[in-house]
Chain A
């Protein structure tokens, strides 16, 4: 009990500091994922159009994904130095696979007859993609973003090892200074953040699914 109240009082006393860290954390995650969307969606589209390229792209993304996060961040540090930028690149790489593969699957799931109706009406390849195929794969894409975001919230707690901030900072500081309350408050907020992201994106995903019917 005393342990829990310790954590609680730490949180109350340091709320402004924790808020700052949380915001930092969110910014890293959001930037990483936005970059992954910018790169991953086109790669997913290319994969859906070409089975051969799909195999290459998905294998590479898979390899990145199975790399242990500490090792990946360590390697990035060697190439990019330390700091925010390196963390974001790490999160970006981690988010790629779920986004590419879900875009790919989402596009392949679009009913052939619907695509054909679009083509038959005289849509260009790009019109078909933007007006029909991508909107219809939105639920899948959102599922990908959801997975990516939850992973990224977790991976981002490693940021302090390579000179970043975020909730990991309190965890690492806490470990170094043997302050349990500090460690746990960082960890708890990170976990809550992950749950919140999961629930919100889960709901968005359901809504788009329903709308598409």
Chain B
């Protein structure tokens, strides 16, 4: 994990490029830094591998303050891909990819094997491409080399500064898809600078939206689309994208907000009474802090009813599948259908029960939504 704490950066000419940045880039996730040109994205990224140093504040990687790490050592452990590709034009592809392994003095055989493996990873035949020079490759191929050069020694962190922005739209899409596919296997902590919202939405797990040296909003693509923090964010996302997302209901809009719950140490008589009172056939089991534990059904309770020693927790089943409230409704319906579930529990990130998505609640929502239209037809 990379963590920025109260980071400020003032350039020598007095320009304050970053004003009090606090940010966490989680392990194994792609964090996109996005914002208009000049807002400080590149500056922020270069603080990570110490191409710049902060004026104040700290940057830690896996808990270690980067200012205590030798910058040369640090950079060899962090992959770095830049916008203008930056391949060394006087070195062939093989040597370009082997840049960091060479700096780390890997032996020849290991380096050669790794180079071939990397070339294959981006579908470039090693025999054909190893000995070519960068100028003999297309833009898309060059940037693939730029990416695998950064992956060569399997760094756990990779920094990418607008890596695909100079490419034509088709190659750009291709490389984005490849990156997503690659990331599924390699699970690196990636910091990805872009000024293209579509790109950020497509590839990022988290987005930090920046303006004038500050982070205006941070969150998952979903969160940013659904709850843009202010007009600047809305404008940056663009009307079109907002409409598409805001027309699709989320689980939050549909779910039942007060599911009937019970604590695990309660008895069966109490459970049955609750079910009768609320007219439900099962109860959701939660702990005192509302963390979801599982459920009990009326059949389980009736079967063991005579045994006073038995508590809810002895009969409890756990849920195979839960959803989060920001998930889109169509996706959830799909899941319910596939799993033949009559309801799905809705939890937040820390597992606290927020509600229940039931078939009844879905029908109710759709009924409400189409009310107007149906009347109109009549």
Give A contacts to B, CB under 8 Å.
111, 113-114, 116-124, 127, 131-132, 135-136, 211-213
Contact = CB atoms under 8 A, between A and B. Distances in A.
Interface of B: 49, 51, 72-77, 80, 82-90, 99-100, 103, 133-136, 149, 159
A135 B89 CA distance: 10
A165 to B, nearest CB: 40
A105 to B, nearest CB: 17
Given A132-B88, A213-B135, A122 B83 contact: no
A175 B315 CA distance: 120
11 contacts: A111-B84, A117-B85, A118-B88, A118-B99, A122-B77, A122-B100, A122-B103, A123-B103, A136-B90, A213-B89, A213-B135
Given A116-B51, A213-B133, A121 B89 contact: no
A120 B80 contact: yes
B114 to A, nearest CB: 15
Given A122-B73, A127-B103, A213-B135, A117 B80 contact: yes
A119 B75 contact: yes
Nearest to A210: B135
B89 A212 contact: yes
A212 B90 CA distance: 5
Nearest to A114: B86
A121 B83 contact: no
A122 B88 contact: no
B98 to A, nearest CB: 11
Contacts of A135: 90
B78 to A, nearest CB: 8
A119 B88 CA distance: 12
Given A121-B103, A213-B134, A113 B76 contact: no
Contact of A113 (B72, B82, B103): B82
Nearest to B152: A121
B50 to A, nearest CB: 10
B72 A120 contact: no
Contacts of B83: 113
Contacts of A212: 89-90
A50 to B, nearest CB: 15
B61 to A, nearest CB: 15
Nearest to A113: B84
A211 B87 CA distance: 14
A119 B99 CA distance: 11
Nearest to A213: B135
Contacts of A117: 80, 82, 85-88
Given A132-B88, A135-B90, A212-B90, A120 B135 contact: no
B86 A119 contact: no
A212 B73 CA distance: 29
Given A120-B86, A121-B76, 11 more contacts: A113-B83, A114-B87, A116-B51, A116-B82, A117-B86, A117-B88, A119-B75, A120-B80, A121-B149, A132-B90, A136-B88
Contacts of A124: 72
Contacts of A136: 88-90
Contact of A114 (B51, B73, B88, B100): B88
Q: 5 nearest interchain CB pairs?
A: A117-B86, A213-B135, A122-B76, A122-B75, A120-B80
A135 B91 CA distance: 10
A116 B86 contact: yes
A114 B89 contact: yes
Contacts of A116: 51, 82, 86
A136 B135 CA distance: 14
- Of the listed residues B87, B99, B135, B159, the one surrounded by the most CB atoms of chain A closer than 10 A to its CB is B99
A118 B102 CA distance: 12
B141 to A, nearest CB: 14
Nearest to B99: A121
A121 B72 CA distance: 8
A120 B80 CA distance: 6
Contacts of A113: 82-86
Contact of B80 (A111, A114, A121, A132): A121
B167 to A, nearest CB: 15
Contacts of B75: 119-122
B72 A122 contact: yes
A125 B77 CA distance: 17
B340 to A, nearest CB: 52
A124 B136 CA distance: 28
